[in-house]
Amino acid sequence: MSGKKILMLTGEFTEEYEIFVFQQGMEAVGHTVHVVCPDKKAGDRIKTSLHDFEGDQTYTEKLGHYADINKTFSEVRVEEYDAVYAAGGRGPEYIRTDKRVQAMVRHFHESGKPIFTICHGVQILMAVPGVLKGKKVAGLGACEPEVTAVGGIYIDVKPTEAYV
Q: Express each pLDDT in 54-82 by its tens digit.
A: 888 878 889 899 999 999 999 999 999 99
CATH topology of domain 5-131: Rossmann fold (3.40.50)
Q: Where are the domains of the chain?
A: 5-131
* Mean pLDDT confidence for 86-105: 96
- State which amino acid sits at residue 146: E
Which pTM was predicted?
Answer: 0.93
pLDDT at 122 over 70: yes
